[in-house]
């Protein structure tokens, strides 16, 4: 399905199952970036020459598309280098100084732990149950004990694919005057997101996990919150007036975009979103691959799965009894199968499970059941060799 759209697969026999780390890019995304570099490469928001205007228009068009994709207003979208930078921006420009406590779940990626630690914020953690689901009652107790806190939770766990019940989590947080960030890094490529319907305060994302280029992503923020936030970095393009005595800044979102931006990447991101929008049966495809992979894996001797949760998307994580996950990863790579082994930047949940890491298959629109069959065959071979 759709494999021909991706030049990466043209001249190789690779099976790519590491999409939660980054996805491959369709030709149309590469073409849009190439067109910028070859026919109107120019800086944005500066001067008045024709090329600069064209580049500015394309960059701002990308912001418009992104806003539409998320159900936001255009001025509620800040471009960043990705989810990591979006969370760091928020930690330093909004959370530090306004909140004492940040509430996280045990499933968080390091990107949603370290920015709070680096800004000296107190962290409280919501535990997950044996299937790695957040217990909503326990969550409410924790939020009630810490009203006026900042809640920051992943939409989909990158390590185990668990989809968190974010609408309920947001509603409960608001009941106790908390503000909420959802880390959407793993969600953008998998299902539609409507920030207004979710009533989320902030939503962070990366393009490269959703068929777009690396080096670009962003932060959605409700405009009334953005208005009261200070710049994250200082530099060109974000100012109203500068003198040696004082400087004033542009309105959001421009106040948060200092220096030359990732222009080609923003243009590529827009095309990636258009690509996602035209895919039919995205979630059906996702679910059928996950179900098929799970059923196929169950035939392997010594399989260890970590969750029976039904609300899962994109990834499946497992181990094989008595074999180190990295050894499996190396032997699969030798058989042209690329999947991820290790802690997946989610050490706290690995520690809770008493493991160092897992083997993770993660899927995209171009993956097929036939590829899963080949992966299982390669896995069986690797297991035989390692036992």
Binding site for ligand PLP (CB under 6 A): 82-84, 109, 111-112, 154, 158, 183, 185-186, 206, 217
* DSSP codes of every residue in 211-230: TS-TT-EEEEE-HHHHTTPP
- Helix (H) / strand (E) containing 385: helix 369-386
- Angstrom distances, CA of residue 178 to CA of 4, 90, 105, 171, 222: 46, 15, 15, 10, 14
For the CB of residue 214, give the shortest distance to ligand PLP in the complex, in Å: 8
For the CB of residue 125, give the shortest distance to ligand PLP in the complex, in Å: 16
Find out whether 185 and 83 touch, Cβ atoms under 8 Å: yes
Catalytic residue among 41, 178, 345, 375: 345
Q: CA 378, CA 35: separation in Å to the nearest integer?
A: 40
For the CB of residue 158, give the shortest distance to ligand PLP in the complex, in Å: 3
Q: CA 352, CA 24: separation in Å to the nearest integer?
A: 32
Distance in Å from the first CA to the final CA of the chain: 36
Helices vs. strands in the chain: H and E counts, helices first: 13, 15
Helix pair 263-278, 27-39: axis angle to 10 deg:
150
345 labelled catalytic: yes
For the CB of residue 276, give the shortest distance to ligand PLP in the complex, in Å: 16
Name the residues annotated as catalytic. Answer: 345
């Amino acid at each position: 399905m759709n494999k021909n759209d991706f030049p990466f697969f043209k001249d190789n026999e690779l099976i790519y199952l590491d999409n939660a780390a980054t996805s491959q890019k369709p030709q149309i995304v590469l073409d849009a970036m190439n067109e910028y570099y070859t026919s109107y490469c120019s800086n944005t928001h500066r001067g008045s020459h024709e090329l600069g205007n064209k580049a500015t228009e394309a960059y701002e068009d990308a912001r418009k598309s992104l806003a539409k994709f998320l159900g936001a207003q255009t001025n509620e979208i800040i471009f960043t280098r990705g989810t990591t930078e979006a969370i760091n921006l928020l930690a330093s420009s909004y959370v530090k100084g306004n909140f004492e406590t940040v509430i996280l779940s045990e499933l968080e990626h390091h990107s949603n732990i370290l920015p709070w630690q680096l800004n000296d914020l107190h962290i409280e953690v919501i535990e997950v149950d044996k299937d790695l689901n957040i217990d909503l009652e326990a969550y409410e107790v924790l939020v009630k004990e810490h009203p006026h806190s900042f809640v920051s939770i992943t939409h989909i766990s990158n390590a185990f694919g668990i989809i968190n019940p974010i609408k309920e989590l947001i509603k409960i947080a608001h009941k106790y005057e908390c503000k909420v960030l959802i880390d959407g890094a793993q969600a953008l490529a998998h299902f539609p997101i409507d920030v207004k319907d979710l009533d989320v305060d902030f939503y962070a994302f990366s393009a490269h996990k959703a068929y777009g280029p690396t080096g670009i992503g962003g932060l959605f923020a409700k405009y009334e919150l953005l208005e009261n936030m200070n710049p994250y970095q200082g530099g060109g393009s974000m100012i109203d007036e500068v003198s040696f005595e004082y400087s004033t800044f542009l309105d959001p979102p421009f106040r948060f975009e200092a220096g030359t931006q990732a222009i080609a990447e923003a243009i590529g991101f827009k095309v990636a979103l258009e690509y996602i929008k035209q895919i039919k049966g995205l979630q059906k495809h996702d679910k059928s691959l996950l179900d098929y992979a799970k059923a196929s894996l169950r035939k392997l001797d010594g399989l260890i799965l970590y969750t029976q949760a039904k609300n899962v998307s994109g990834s499946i994580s497992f181990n094989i009894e008595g074999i180190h996950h990295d050894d499996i990863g190396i032997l699969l790579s030798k058989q042209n199968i690329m999947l991820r082994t290790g802690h997946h930047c989610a050490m706290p949940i690995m520690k809770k499970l008493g493991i160092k890491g897992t083997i993770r298959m993660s899927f995209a629109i171009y993956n097929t059941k036939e590829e899963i069959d080949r992966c299982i065959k390669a896995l069986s071979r690797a297991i035989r060799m390692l036992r």
